[in-house]
A and B are shown apart, each in its own frame.
Chain A
Amino acid sequence: MPLDALNDVSDDALLVAFGNGDQDAARALTLRLAPRVLGFATRMLNDRAEAEDVTQEAMMRLWKISGDWRQGEAKVTTWLYRVVSNLCTDRLRRRRSVSLDAIDEPLDETPGADERIFQAQRHNALEVALQTLPDRQRQAVVMRHIDGLANPDIAEILDISVEAVESLTARGKRALSEVLAGQREELGY
C-alpha cells in the first residue's frame, strides 16, 4: 500500500498493523513520529548523535510492544514521548555538564531576507537558552510550546499532575524570557 494512502490512518491502527507484519505501516509510523521525537531529544540532549541513538532506541521499543498494543487505551505519541523523555533523563544524569554551544543554523543572507534572518536567530537563541533550564522545565516547555502537546498528555509523559506541568511551563517560560531579553535587537524586537 502506498505510504500516502496511510496518511489518514491513526497511529494506533498503524501500530497494530505493524504488529501483524505490515512493514509499510512501520515506514509510515517512522516518517510520522521519528522526526518529532528526534527534535525533542535534540533539544533535551543538545547532541544530534545522542538524540539519534535515543530516537532509534525508542522506536525499537515501540516495535517490540506492537504485538501487545491495544487500540484506544493510550496514545502512541504519549507512550513514545515518555520513553524518549526517560531515555534523555538517563543520559542527562550520566553527564552533568551542559553545553551552551549554539546549534549551527545557516543564516539566510539573500536580499530581503530580514524576517527570515530574525526567524533563524530566534530559533538559534531559543535552542541555546533552553539549555539553561533545569531538565524538567526544559522537557515541559519543549513539549508544550514547541511540540504542541496538551498539558494532560505532558502530565502522563512526565508522570506528574497537570498542575505540576503548568507550574513547570510557567517557570520555564519566565526563565527563557529573562535569558532572551538581552538579545531583543538580534531577535528583531
Chain B
Amino acid sequence: MVEKNRLDDQELDAVFAAAAQNPPTMSADLFARIVQDAKGVSADAVAATVPATPSDPTGFFAALIETIGGWRGVAGLATATLAGVWIGVAQPDTITGLTGGYVGDITYFDPGDLIPSIEYQLTEG
C-alpha cells in the first residue's frame, strides 16, 4: 500500500541518486587557491629545517664569544693577556709598585727561604 504522505524507499533512493550524480564542480579559482596553499605549506616546512651554513663564520665565533661571556668577557680576556705580557717583561721594582706592597719587596729568594728543610737535605750525604 502506497502511503500518500511519504515517498517510499525506492522513490527516495531515486532522489538521492539524482543528487549523487550531480556533484558540485570545483571552480578553477578554488583549485588554484588550494594548490597555492599547499605550496606555501611546503615552503614553510623547508624554511623551518634549513640549518646555518658551515661556512658562516659568525656561527662559530658567535658561539665562542658566547662561551667566554660575551664581548665583555672578550675585553677582560684581552686585558688579562696584555697585563700578563707586561708583568713578564717589567722590572721587579715596577712589580712591587704594582702590587702596592702587598707582597713585599721581591728581589731574591734563596731556596732555603722557600723550603727551610732543603738545606739540611742538600748538606746531608
Query: A residues within 8 Å of B by Cβ?
Result: 18, 21, 23, 26-27, 30-31, 34-36, 38-39, 42, 48, 52, 55-56, 59-60, 63-64, 66-67, 105, 119-120, 122-123, 125-127, 145-148, 173-174, 176-178, 180-181, 184, 187, 189
Alpha-carbon distance between A50 and B25 when the two chains are bound, in angstroms: 15
Are the C-beta atoms of A26 and B38 separated by less than 8 Å? yes
* Given A122-B14, A126-B16, A187-B11, A35:B23 Cβ within 8 A: yes
Size of the B side of the interface (Cβ < 8 Å), in residues, is 35
Alpha-carbon distance between A181 and B11 when the two chains are bound, in angstroms: 10
Query: Which residue, of B26, B38, B42, has the highest number of chain A Cβ atoms within 10 A?
Result: B38
- Which of A27, A42, A181 has a CB less than 8 Å from the CB of B7? A181
Q: Chain B residues near A145 (CB, 8 Å)?
A: 13, 16, 20
- Which of B15, B23, B30, B41 has a CB less than 8 Å from the CB of A126? B15
Alpha-carbon distance between A36 and B23 when the two chains are bound, in angstroms: 7
Are the C-beta atoms of B37 and A60 separated by less than 8 Å? yes
CB distance from B10 to the nearest CB of A (A): 10
Query: Which residue, of B9, B11, B22, B24, has the highest number of chain A Cβ atoms within 10 A?
Result: B24
Are the C-beta atoms of B23 and A39 separated by less than 8 Å? yes
Chain B contacts with A in 1-49, Cβ cutoff 8 A:
3-9, 11-16, 18-27, 30-31, 33-35, 37-39, 41-42, 45-46
Alpha-carbon distance between A181 and B23 when the two chains are bound, in angstroms: 24
The 5 closest A-B pairs by CB, nearest first: A26-B38, A122-B18, A63-B41, A177-B7, A177-B6
CB distance from B53 to the nearest CB of A (A): 21
Are the C-beta atoms of B38 and A30 separated by less than 8 Å? yes
Q: Chain B residues near A184 (CB, 8 Å)?
A: 7
Query: B residues within 8 Å of A by Cβ?
Result: 3-9, 11-16, 18-27, 30-31, 33-35, 37-39, 41-42, 45-46
Could you write out 9 A-B pairs with CB less than 8 Å apart? A34-B31, A35-B23, A42-B24, A56-B30, A59-B34, A176-B12, A176-B15, A187-B15, A189-B11
Alpha-carbon distance between A126 and B26 when the two chains are bound, in angstroms: 21
Q: Chain A residues near B5 (CB, 8 Å)?
A: 178, 181
CB distance from A133 to the nearest CB of B (A): 13
Alpha-carbon distance between A52 and B20 when the two chains are bound, in angstroms: 19
CB distance from A79 to the nearest CB of B (A): 16
Q: Chain B residues near A39 (CB, 8 Å)?
A: 23-24
